[in-house]
Amino acid sequence: MSIGLTSTNFYFPNQLNKYTGKVREVYDFGDQLAMVATDRISAFDVVLPEPIPHKGQVLNQIAEIFLNATSDIVPNWFDSSPHPNVSIGKKCAPFPIEMVIRGYLTGHAWREYSDGKRMICGCPMPDAMKEHDKFPTPLITPTTKAHEGHDEDISRKEILAQGLISANHLNLLEKYTFALFARGTEMAAERGLILVDTKYEFGLYKDEIYLIDEVHTPDSSRYFYGATYADLQTKGAPQKQLSKEFVREWLISEGFQGKSGQQIPNMSGERVTAISERYIELFENITGQKFVKDNYHDKLANIKTSIENALQV
């Protein structure tokens, strides 16, 4: 059994609610939220049985860096991070879709393409592409936000037809998505990386669109190494990825894709350690900073105290 932050069960006097997501636990204080990034890991919308040490800290600290680095493009929910696993910010009303943007034919897009499909979320994909080839222009391929089960691809036309978002709001979300992806691409290139694809979530705060949740983390994004990309593509060799895709690929090789009746494969201690190391590798590569591991001794108590002090609850 590995170490890791699997859950929190705090109660604060003026807490209105607590929401437990696949990875994060969110404490609702009315106009503000305290978001705790646990070490849980999910794939194919299923939470895997073993926590990944330091994963929550990696996600939280990368998200903080990129939220601060993109606040000139669109305002965001983040206010402060009083603990390596905690973010405090504004409570926004989320839109019911996620804005996925893809620069390369990788992951889900490739699986669709290899099944013979040449359209994804209403966006055409050119013929004669190979896995990991770059699209002529990035594609926005939204998904629904399922409370349970799998998120589903949805086209722009379907979003508007179902009245999920107004046309004006959707136009702005698309504009922000392209601009955020361009900024993320620039920042990745400065570190010798390629931002392959990512997702953004948005909400309304006082009738204004805000960027919410995490940004450009390995849970929401995929990266390749820039220096080896062209050579590996020419050879038809797999790209080395800094993302969760290597976890998904392992699960697929073990016969698991989150479908009914499928058994989650056993995660050995060695595999858990390797995943943890990959997350830390991404942190150091994308930020250019040395990762400082937070101590697990008294971690729960320290997280609780940090929220109490930050919100004076």
Instruction: Look up the CATH number of the domain holding residue 174.
Output: 3.30.470.20
215 inside domain: yes
Q: Is 227's pLDDT higher than 60?
A: yes
| pLDDT band for position 2 (cuts 50, 70, 90) | low
Q: Is 313's pLDDT higher than 80?
A: no
What pLDDT, on a 0 to 100 scale, did the predictor assign at position 1?
42
Q: Is 147's pLDDT higher than 70?
A: no
242 inside domain: yes
Q: Mind listing the pLDDT tens digit for each residue in 50-83? A: 999 999 999 999 999 999 999 999 999 999 999 9
Residue 208 in tokens: 């204004």
64 inside domain: no
- Compute CA distances 1 → 51, 266, 268, 282, 312, whole Å: 9, 12, 9, 24, 36
Q: Is 219's pLDDT higher than 80?
A: yes
Token pair 């636990």 is found at 25
Q: Is 142's pLDDT higher than 70?
A: yes
Q: Mind listing the pLDDT tens digit for each residue in 7-50? A: 999 999 999 999 999 999 999 999 999 999 999 999 888 999 99
What is the distance in angstroms between the CA of the first residue and the CA of the last residue of the chain?
34
Token pair 């437990």 is found at 20
Number of domains in the chain: 1
85 inside domain: no
52 inside domain: no
216 inside domain: yes
What pLDDT, on a 0 to 100 scale, did the predictor assign at position 304?
97
Range of the domain at 218: 94-246
111 inside domain: yes
Of 250, 162, 179, the residue nearest 215 (C-alpha): 179
Q: Does the predicted model carry a pTM greater than 0.85?
A: yes
Length of the chain: 313
Q: Is 149's pLDDT higher than 60?
A: no
Q: Mind listing the pLDDT tens digit for each residue in 254-308? A: 999 999 899 999 999 999 998 999 889 889 999 999 999 999 999 999 999 999 9
220 inside domain: yes
Mean pLDDT of 239-259: 87
